[in-house]
Amino acid sequence: MRKKAASCRIIGGADGPTSVFIAGKEKNLWRRISRTLYDRKSRRKREKAKRSIVPGTHTIQEVVQYAEDRYGMVEMDASYRGYEERKRNHKHNLIYRKRPELLQEERRILPPKDFHNEEALKEYTRQVMEWTAMREREIDAIPPEVFPTDYHLFVADKGMQGTLEMEIDMLYGDIAVSWFGGNKDIMKAMIKDIYRYYGVSQEDIDHNTERYREHLMMLSM
């Protein structure tokens, strides 16, 4: 982390209760060059993914059946590791995207000017943790009748290839597929296949909907 940063912003994240972003200008020349090359590569992958998209959709129920038949995915219950935390994070993410008015405004926490200052760093960390805990309590307090969800988690253990996981919400038509361990190329191919099956409509493409943006992002990875 650099000593100087413009600001720090905490927002909800799909993979956890919060994400912390440090903004600032990179002064190291080689890092800037590396970042530029990375951005160019990402843009090329994105453009290639765009050209590959063909309109056509399936429902969440059809996606579940497809994942079960093709990849042997099985629905997990609350006994699965991290299930409750992931369910909470899922609700957090949905509220941020669907009903942000239910939450207080995001809190802007400025990082210390010098990250070698131990006391300042401790205070910064304390504020981040305090805000995170407050946000979690705030979301937990939102009752189901105000923001209902229908969360499901499906898992396919592919052995040495890795473990495929799919989180969905039947109410909002929301889907998130990820993996851990194993062969990333094989896992990425499986994830892209599921997203392609889920698909997007011509209307999604024309109006650059959330479904289309998520679809494009996953096909570009």
| Unique residue bearing structure tokens 């070698």 | 116
The overall pTM is greater than 0.85 = no
Quote the CA–CA distance of 100 and 87 in Å, as a whole number: 18
Give the burial class of 100: count Cβ atoms within 10 A of its Cβ; 0-12 exposed, 13-18 middle, 19 or more buried.
exposed
Quote the CA–CA distance of 209 and 8 in Å, as a whole number: 28
- What would the pLDDT profile of 169-206 be if each residue is shown by its tens digit? 999 989 999 999 999 999 999 999 999 999 999 999 99
Could you give the percent of the chain with pLDDT greater than 70?
Answer: 87
Predicted local confidence at residue 27, as pLDDT: 60
User: Using an 8 Å Cβ cutoff, are 179 and 191 in contact?
Assistant: yes
- What would the pLDDT profile of 133-152 be if each residue is shown by its tens digit? 888 888 889 999 999 999 99
User: Using an 8 Å Cβ cutoff, are 165 and 153 in contact?
Assistant: yes
27-36, 40-49, 190-199, 207-216: least confidently modelled range: 27-36
Tokens of residue 38, six digits: 């990375």
User: Using an 8 Å Cβ cutoff, are 176 and 166 in contact?
Assistant: yes
- The 3-class secondary structure across the chain, one letter per residue, is CCCCCCEEEEEEECCEEEEEEEECCCCCHHHHHHHHHHHHHHHHHHHHHHHHCCCEECCHHHHHHHHHHHHCCEECCCCCCCHHHHHHHHHHHHHHHHCHHHCCCCCECCCCCCCCCHHHHHHHHHHHHHHHHHHHHHHHCCCCCCCCCCEEEEEEECHHHCEEEEEEECCCCEEEEEEECCCHHHHHHHHHHHHHHHEECHHHHHHCCHHHHHHHHHHCC
Quote the CA–CA distance of 214 and 103 in Å, as a whole number: 23
8-12, 22-26, 94-98, 215-219: least confidently modelled range: 8-12
Cα-trace Rg, the chain: 20
What are the extents of the domains in the chain? Answer: 7-219
Predicted local confidence at residue 18, as pLDDT: 46
Quote the CA–CA distance of 132 and 17 in Å, as a whole number: 7
